[in-house]
Amino acid sequence: MFMAILVRAKSFLSSSLSSLTRSQRCNHTLGERGLQAELYSGMAPAPNPALRPIDTSKWKKIQASKVGISLSMISYPSWIVLKILHKGGFEAYLVGGCVRDLLLNRTPKDFDVITTANLKQIRKKFHRAEIIGKRFPICRVHIKGSIIEVSSFETVARHDADKEKALSSLLPKICDEKDLIRWRNSRNRDFTINSLFFDPFTCNIYDYNGGMSDLKSLKLRTLIPAHLSFQEDCGRILRGLRIAARLCLSFSKDTERAMYDLSASIGGLDKFRLMLEVNYMLSYGAAVQSICLLQRFNLLNILLPFQAAYISQHRATKNSMMLMKLFFNLDKLVSCDHPADSSIWVGLLMFHLALVNNPQDALVIWTFASVLYHGNWKEGVEFAREYTKLEVKFVPEISEFSETKSDEDLAKEVAQFASLVQDSVGVLTETSNLFESMSRYPFSPCSGLVFVPKITAKNTAKLFDLMVEDIRSFINGRGRMSPEINFHLLGIGDPCETRFVLGKIILETMKAGPRGDATEIGNDEKDLQPKATEEILSNNEIPAKKVKKHAPSSFIPDGNRGMLKKQKLVDDDTAIKNQEMVTKDELNDLAEKHQEFVKTCKLSENKTNSMQGKISEKEEKSKKDKEKKPKKHTKAVEKSKEHIALHTVSKKQQMVVRELNLREEDEMDNLEKVLGKEEVMERTEEHKGRAGKERSGVSSLSSLFR
């Protein structure tokens, strides 16, 4: 055993010395030196010449305004927490991913706060706060309808006391105490780009580990050697893939190699942790990129083996993947500031599982999705019959195309399919069901791991209860609300809103078809850097709303502005040369095919035009009717509209809204006592204005089928 320890120590030392040579090129020295300190602290006393003191001259303090960060970018609830802690005499900072996202001009998923106050002092400062966690406890503060996670410098320092002593011995004797506190805490972070601190009161950003440099070069790098980092916590592998997928980052060689070598270790993670990480991947607007990276690092066959086998088979046959198109259309709707509840992606997986195992008539799928979207049987069927003429070929999901089914037969088949969707949830929650479904792919690996909580699966299956029981009398309950998505309801898993969005995603996927703005996984295994969208999209398109998130920032170099990852673009001259190589016979053949296609499309085009004409006539009539109405009845009409709108919302939603309003009023009173009435009012108005600008509109379904 002693010999094994010596061998392991020798291998760690050799790897750290070799990485030290590389670090001279990368400006990244603290990780390797930290490793030496940790290594010697667990062995015999290290000889002093082997341990070099840490070069504090590489510690950076940057003015936030110079890199494009302003206080208005901080969420209002987070600012209140920071302000209250600061007024209480404590240091308070934003830390981690939120600082990283602000530097990249992105909306952070959440704002994490760290303070010099201990957890009990934090809890006393707020009206609604509780301490959670055992290994690394934090304080969750409920304020203004949000939850802000606040950690204490004291917690980490106490947890790693031995490591702190070893690290402190490497520091120069003269060192600022505040810098020392921040640096010690930063050494416990997972990646360099997550180890940044932002002090909103001095407007300074503190970088002790080369995080700014890695962020500029769009590299994901661990603070200590990656193998050791992932052995400490293999959940960092999933977190790293999630960050890389959302920000289109590449990996350092050390990080990439360790991810490959230790990918199997995630099977030992707690199921709750797995669910949390997978939900972050799929519900925040980067599902397609995340699935690609999971597949690339052999993690998808551990987490979702059925989907991994499906993707592998379609890559081999070069068929279009309906699964990836579904998640592509989900990514177009959600983002970090407008995430979805996990029931959305669980519902999509259930829907696709049912289709692969039980292929359906295209009309059945159109009707199923249309009824979910429109919220009632009559409108859903009319819409489905109109658009089922669009030929969609997904293999194996679609079995046939028919337009002659009676409403009665169609209702039976749609209800039966909804039942199959419900039954498919077992593949995600029961190991026996998973192994049974994998018989379709006998040569694909299957770990037998299932991690979706049964309560989540049960609630998702309930979404389709009404369709199974009596689909012809199905009413979604959403009423005739705006065709725009209510992201608050979607985020909390409201059944009506979830059904509406599921229907919208499936309809968009069917409308686009195999050749639409769909997603494919690249076949090039040699290029190990994340390809983001070009590895996925067959026509080099990306979700339209994602482009806005990469607005130019003073922090990002000119060469990296726009999309953060370089896209594969075809040179114009090469394209022209390729076009000149087309022969006359090929052109004539293409022209004949085009004429045939035009003939087949004329009927549907005429019907579409007639529908648009009817809609425009109705709009003109409604305008004339409004002009004829006397002005004295305006107020009465407005009141009646408000009354109708109120009753379209369910009683449950009304109760939730009232409770939130009461809580908000209570919080406002408490905040005015602490911060002063004028400051609270000023920040509220500023926050409302910013929220209005950030909120992007969502097109109605009619615009999807032009």
- Give 321-338 pLDDT, tens digit per residue: 999 999 999 999 999 989
Phi and psi for 205 in degrees, rounded to 5?
Answer: -110, 130
Across the chain, mean pLDDT equals 75
Confidence label for 158 from pLDDT (cuts 50, 70 and 90): low
Where in the chain is CATH 1.10.110.30?
A: 218-303
The amino acid at 67: V
Q: What is the C-alpha to C-alpha distance for residues 311 and 316, in angstroms, rounded to an integer? A: 9
Where in the chain is CATH 3.30.460.10?
A: 60-217
pLDDT of residue 198: 97
Tens digits of residue pLDDT in 679-697: 556 555 555 454 444 434 3
Winning range, highest mean pLDDT, from 56-60, 94-98, 537-541, 605-609? 94-98
Q: What is the C-alpha to C-alpha distance for residues 68 and 104, in angstroms, rounded to an integer? A: 9
Is the pLDDT at 35 greater than 60? The verdict is no
CB atoms within 10 A of CB 71: 14
Confidence label for 475 from pLDDT (cuts 50, 70 and 90): confident
pLDDT of residue 34: 41
Report helix, strand and coil shares of the chain as percent, to nearest 5.
60, 5, 30
Confidence label for 672 from pLDDT (cuts 50, 70 and 90): low
Class of domain 60-217: alpha beta
pLDDT of residue 136: 83
Is the pLDDT at 118 greater than 60? The verdict is yes
Confidence label for 161 from pLDDT (cuts 50, 70 and 90): low
Tens digits of residue pLDDT in 597-645: 445 444 444 544 444 444 445 445 545 554 444 444 444 444 444 443 4
CB 291, CB 334: distance < 8 Å: no
Q: Which two tokens stand for residue 531?
A: 């390809």
pLDDT of residue 483: 83
Three-class SS of residue 146? strand
Radius of gyration of the chain (CA): 28
Domain 218-303 is found in CATH 3.30.1180.20: no
Confidence label for 187 from pLDDT (cuts 50, 70 and 90): confident
- Which single residue is written with the structure tokens 């120069």? 172
pLDDT of residue 680: 54
Q: Which two tokens stand for residue 488?
A: 């608050």
| Closest-CA residue to 25 (of 258, 205, 221) | 221
Share of the chain above pLDDT 70, in %: 62
Contacts of 89 (CB under 8 A, 6+ apart): none
Is the pLDDT at 554 greater than 50? The verdict is no
